[in-house]
Amino acid sequence: CEATKLRQVFVNILKNGIEAMQEQAGKGSDSAFDIRFSHTPAHVIITIADSGPGMDEDTRKHIFEPFYTTKDPDKGTGLGLSMAYFIIVNHHKGEMGVDVNETGGTTFTIKLPVDG
């Protein structure tokens, strides 16, 4: 079911954000997500930003590769975000990207074709 696949994309992104924000819990910063929806005539655009510590450039470059993880082996397989990327790009002919915010945190952007 397509709805189940899309749900899994959002679960994986949110799970990663929660885990990142938990790493900095107690360091005086609030944990929050900022989820926004917009559209053009041809696309629906979803951005999911977290207030976690962000990621370095090397991690950002490899984040969608299968089995890439910065977590301990018993904490993650490195498949969640690669599966999310595959679902968006291959199943829905969309686009998915990630940016690190200057003030900390990470923003995932998903762009889906309206006619997809």
Domain range list for the chain: 2-113
* pLDDT (tens place) for every residue of the chain, 116 residues total: 688 999 999 999 999 999 888 877 766 667 899 999 999 999 999 999 999 888 888 988 999 998 888 777 677 778 899 999 999 999 999 999 999 988 889 999 999 999 85
Residue partners of 85: CB distance under 8 A and separation at least 6: 64, 96
CATH of domain 2-113: 3.30.565.10
